[in-house]
Amino acid sequence: MTDLPLYGLRVLELASVLAGPQVGQFLAELGADVLKIEAPAGDVTRTWRTPAEAPDAPISAYFSAANWGKTSRVLDLTAATGRAELHALAARADIVLASYKPGDAAKLGADYATLAALNPRLLYGSITGYGPESSRAGYDAVLQAETGFMHLNATGPGQPAQKMPVALIDLLTAHQLKEALLLALYQRERTGRGTLLEVSLHDSALASLANQATSWLVTGHEPQPLGSGHPSIVPYGTVYTAADGTRLLLAVGSDGQFRQLCTVLEQPAWATDARFSTNPARVAHRQQLEELLRRRIAQVSGAELLAELEKRVVPAGAVRTVGEALTQPAAPAMLLPPTADFPHSGLRTVAFRSSTWPVAEVLPGPPRLGCS
């Protein structure tokens, strides 16, 4: 679509798995021409199938999570002919996305210095696990373990650490690189020069620890896992089960909201109880309050409770499965329609909307290996 903001932008994607390809699909959804360069074996995620998928499916569900709107070309960068073709493409490109271990890109003639010599306006986005000085490969699960996320995601102190159910560090890294690229495009408009942009999974993870990191930096106190609970707000994040089997979560962030919750639950005494009347008191008496809430919510209809809380502007929601979330009335706006070659919906990476450009209504589906 010629009215999309990145129409005409040429992108070479030398990245695989999730972080880099997420950036590539993001750019494609905004109008860029994205060519995915793959080794003869293809992106490894093409074969990452779940047991529910056909074993011979040419495109896995995982691969489809980050590869809409692209074309694919196979280049063997270990061969001179493959490197020559890459260099010809890079000379005309605006952006290169790469996810090599430090040193590997140079061996393939795909590093920033080599490509920028051919195209001084080139923006080169490099994703590594631990930065340009480390030879370690970056894996999302390992980074979740090493940067505190798995520790904090346990159900409680002393319980087993747990990985997030999505490759969260990859996705956070992708967002960092998107921001860097958009800033670099703006700078290039003023200077005419390209640049090297480097982001690591490690740094992206640390940058996203937010209040958990600053809690340690300010107090020296090691943040402890609370399951889905919040370290400084109660009741916030705990899941309760109602009489009708509804699983629901409360996110009460103020004393006023807590008073409304007490009214809805027909427990006005809680609102004036010194243990619960203020948030600091509720944090100090977390276990007592959550036990009272568990018992009371187990006596009422979850559907009716959620409806009444919504009327009173008390933050709460039902715990849904992925399928339930994707079939809610608001979900279709975030889905890409099936194509002739890929008869399944896709997931958009662009969640924002603009008053001056449209949403890409359709995109080519995830490409088969080497298909343009």
* pLDDT tens per residue, range 320-364: 999 999 999 999 999 999 999 999 999 999 999 999 999 999 999
Residue 271 has a pLDDT of 96
Q: What is the per-residue pLDDT for 195?
A: 98
Q: Taking a C-beta distance cutoff of 8 angstroms, is the pair 117, 88 a contact?
A: no
Active site residue 170: yes
Determine the Cα–Cα distance for residues 321 and 318; give it in Å rounded to an integer. 10
Of the candidates 55, 73, 25, the one whose C-alpha atom is nearest the C-alpha of residue 346 is 25
pLDDT at 2: 83
List the chain pLDDT tens, one digit each, 372 residues.
Answer: 789 999 999 999 999 999 999 999 999 999 999 999 999 999 999 999 999 999 888 899 999 999 999 999 999 999 999 999 999 999 999 999 999 999 999 999 999 999 999 999 999 999 999 999 898 999 999 999 999 999 999 988 999 999 999 999 999 999 999 999 999 999 999 999 999 999 999 999 999 999 999 999 999 999 999 888 898 999 999 999 999 999 999 999 999 999 999 999 999 999 999 999 999 999 999 999 999 999 999 999 999 999 999 999 999 999 999 999 999 999 999 999 999 999 999 999 999 999 999 999 999 999 999 886
Domain extent listing, the chain: 10-209+329-347, 236-319
Cα separation, 143 vs 126, in Å, equals 17
Name which of 133, 123, 138, 139 is nearest 13 in CA terms.
123
Least Cα distance to 349 among 339, 363, 338 occurs for 363
Catalytic residue from among 170, 203, 273, 341 = 170
Which residue's entry shows tokens 């306006």? Answer: 121
- Out of 3.40.50.970, 3.40.50.10540, 3.40.190.10, 3.30.1540.20, the CATH code matching 10-209+329-347 is 3.40.50.10540
**Contact between 364 and 70 (Cβ < 8 Å):** yes
Tokens representing 201?
């999974």
Taking each helix axis as running N to C, give the angle between helix 19-29 and helix 168-191, from 0 to 180 degrees, rounded to the nearest 10: 50
* pLDDT tens column, 153-199: 998 899 999 999 999 999 999 999 999 999 999 999 999 999 999 99
Closest CA to 123 of 7, 12, 6, 2: 12
Using alpha carbons only, what angle is made at residue 176 by residues 175 and 182, rounded to the nearest 5 degrees? 90
Identical fold between 10-209+329-347 and 236-319: no
Q: What are phi and psi of 172, to 5 degrees?
A: -65, -40
Is 255 in contact with 314 (CB distance < 8 Å)? no
Q: Which fold has domain 236-319?
A: formyl-coa transferase, domain 3 (3.30.1540)
pLDDT for 326: 96
pLDDT of residue 370: 87
What's the pLDDT at 57? 87
User: How many helices (H) and strands (E) in the chain?
Assistant: 16, 11
d(CA 303, CA 308): 9
Query: Hey, how many other C-beta atoms are within 10 angstroms of the C-beta on 363?
Result: 18
Residues for the chain: how many in total? 372
Query: pLDDT at position 221, please?
Result: 93
Predicted local confidence at residue 371, as pLDDT: 82
Buried b (16+ CB within 10 A) or exposed e, 237-274: bbebebeeebebbbebeeeebbbbbbebbeeeebbebe
Q: Are strands 247-251 and 236-241 parallel, antiparallel or unpaired?
A: antiparallel
Task: Give me the residue label for tokens 């004393």.
Answer: 255
pTM (two decimals): 0.92
What's the CA gap between 191 and 121, in Å, rounded? 9
Residue (of 295, 262, 259, 263) closest to 278 by Cα position: 259
